[in-house]
A = this chain, B = another copy of it.
Amino acid sequence: MNSLTEENYLKALFNLSQENGEVSVNELSKHLQIKMPTVTSMMKKLSDKKLVNYESYKPLKLTEKGRREAGLVIRKHRLTEMFLVDKMGFGWEQVHEIAEQIEHIHSPEFFEKMDELLGYPKFDPHGSPIPDKTGKVEWIHYSKLSDCKAGDAVKLSAVTHSSDEFLKFLNTRELKLGTKIRIKSIEAFDGSMTISYGKHLSEHVSCLVCERLLVEKE
């Protein structure tokens, strides 16, 4: 059984290693807001538990076991977010903080019941895939809106950040998952875009926003 703290390290490693599978101590330290020596010592501990491959001065990698256990925590997080939105009436911008706590509840029955009541959902309210009961996650490769070209027609399928402020911003612009977007133009010097969707015929969005929106080409 992993402690709440260990679960948080595993989850962070899982999320950070999505790209290349490797994470530096420094990255992990910054992401968790925990000083590097503390991270180093936890990596040794998780290495003893066969959850992380750790060698001095080498990048960190989750083992298969570590990936599985991290996946199970993330499964609980995402199921919870879905439950809060679908069954309790929260907005997608409100659920991250609550799920961050509920993901550590130890009760298979509780999450089993959520899953059942939700009808076994495959994605959470931010478009992230929900790992299966073994902790495995189907990795879907969406494009960033920022990587699209002027003229492209795409569908908003997920967001990469779940902070309250960012999602509230999307709410004010009426940008939600499923929204069909057309890229009217891209500013060459800062990567910001002018897009149209629904009733919004001409909205300007910054590069930062574009990088956080994941889309599927139509």
Contact = CB atoms under 8 A, between A and B. Distances in A.
A107 B117 contact: no
Contact of A105 (B89, B101, B109): B101
B113 A106 contact: no
B107 A105 contact: no
A90 interface: yes
13 contacts: A84-B110, A88-B113, A88-B117, A89-B113, A89-B117, A90-B109, A94-B109, A97-B107, A98-B105, A98-B109, A98-B110, A101-B106, A102-B102
A88 B105 CA distance: 16
A117 B83 CA distance: 14
Number of copies of this chain in the oligomer? 2
B97 A113 contact: no
Interface in A67-101: 84, 87-90, 94, 97-98, 101
Nearest to A116: B89
A97 B110 CA distance: 10
A23 to B, nearest CB: 29
Nearest to A102: B105
Contacts of A106: 101
Contacts of A105: 98, 101-102
